[in-house]
Amino acid sequence: MNPQGIMDSMQKHNLELQKKNTEIVILATKKADAQRDYRKALAVEIARLRLRGEKVTLVETMAKGNDSVADLKVKFIIAEAEYKACLESIKGSLAALDTLRSLLTWERKEKYSQNI
């Protein structure tokens, strides 16, 4: 790859990183909202079961088994997975940029050594 191709590729990765940095903020908010909704619904269900007189040792398990609480847990798990996937994608882009920087440095040294 020639130096211009490396620079073009670096620019492409920089643009991807900018998009991913915006996306990670949105995904972090989505994850936090999903976690909040799940925890609130779980707390309400636990309180409802306690007021109903269910055994204390079973209340949390029963509350987590409630359909609406379980659905919110699934939404939270999905939001968390999307957030982590975006983080890994950012790490991949950073690694690619680092590789391209190294390649560009090597290209410059090669060109310089040929001119001597």
> Can you read off the two tokens belonging to residue 103?
């390649």
1-10, 20-29, 47-56: least confidently modelled range: 1-10
**Buried b or exposed e, range 54-64, using 16+ CB within 10 angstroms:** eeeeebeebbe
- Looking at residue 43, what is its pLDDT? 97
Residue 88 lies in a domain: yes
Chain segment 12-42, per-residue pLDDT in tens? 999 999 999 999 999 999 999 999 999 999 9
Confidence bin at 108 (pLDDT 50/70/90): confident
Residue 2 lies in a domain: no
Task: Report the C-alpha gap between 107 and 12 in whole angstroms.
Answer: 19
Residue 55 lies in a domain: yes
Task: Report the C-alpha gap between 17 and 43 in whole angstroms.
Answer: 38
- Looking at residue 116, what is its pLDDT? 66
- Domain containing 92: what range? 18-110
Instruction: Please give the tally of structural domains in the chain.
Output: 1
Task: Report the C-alpha gap between 46 and 58 in whole angstroms.
Answer: 10
> Can you read off the two tokens belonging to residue 41?
């619904």
